[in-house]
Amino acid sequence: MSTIKLGSLLIRTLAKPVANSIKTQAKQHPKFREFCIDVAQKSHRLEMTLKMKFLGYKKEVIRPLNDAKAIESGANFLSESFVFGVAASVILAESWRSRYTAKNRRNYVDDSLEKLESENANLNEALENMRQTQQLTEERIKQVEDDNLQLRKLLDDILNISLGLARHTK
């Protein structure tokens, strides 16, 4: 987890030199310079229009920025947009990773819970089988004890008759 945070910090740190490179490229390349001027002029018009609307001024003609200021402003806007985009991407990636990790953890917990419930049901079934077996065993023991008692009485009767202590009646 800490390595991911360090990695995201490294990415953000590396994004700053790229942003500075955007600024220097805006001053050196003519097409990129024109693009920066266009971005800056549109941004300036939008900013001024919003300021006038929010402050309650009537709409006036908005003067464009001079080229040097427009290049600087456009390059700043693009470089800051790049840094913001990188930071937003890192945050989104971290959010996705944590959501994925939480989902896997939930799945693991759900699987473990299902396994425990299954084992619990199996143990309850085995316990019920043991109870039934115990009940049958107790009934069998009772039957054997009753049979033993009858045999003892019969043996006593036979011994009493053979010893002459009792008369044979039948």
Per the structure, how many domains does the chain have? Answer: 1
Q: Indicate whether 15 pLDDT > 80.
A: no
pLDDT reported for residue 97? 87
Host domain of residue 86: 2-124
Per-residue pLDDT tens digits for 66-111: 998 999 898 888 888 888 888 888 888 888 988 999 999 999 999 9
Please check whether residue 143 lies inside any domain of the structure. no
Please check whether residue 35 lies inside any domain of the structure. yes
Please check whether residue 154 lies inside any domain of the structure. no
Please check whether residue 136 lies inside any domain of the structure. no
Helix axes 67-163, 2-28, angle to 10 degrees: 160
pLDDT reported for residue 155? 92
pTM check: above 0.85 = no
User: What does the pLDDT average to over 32-55?
Assistant: 91
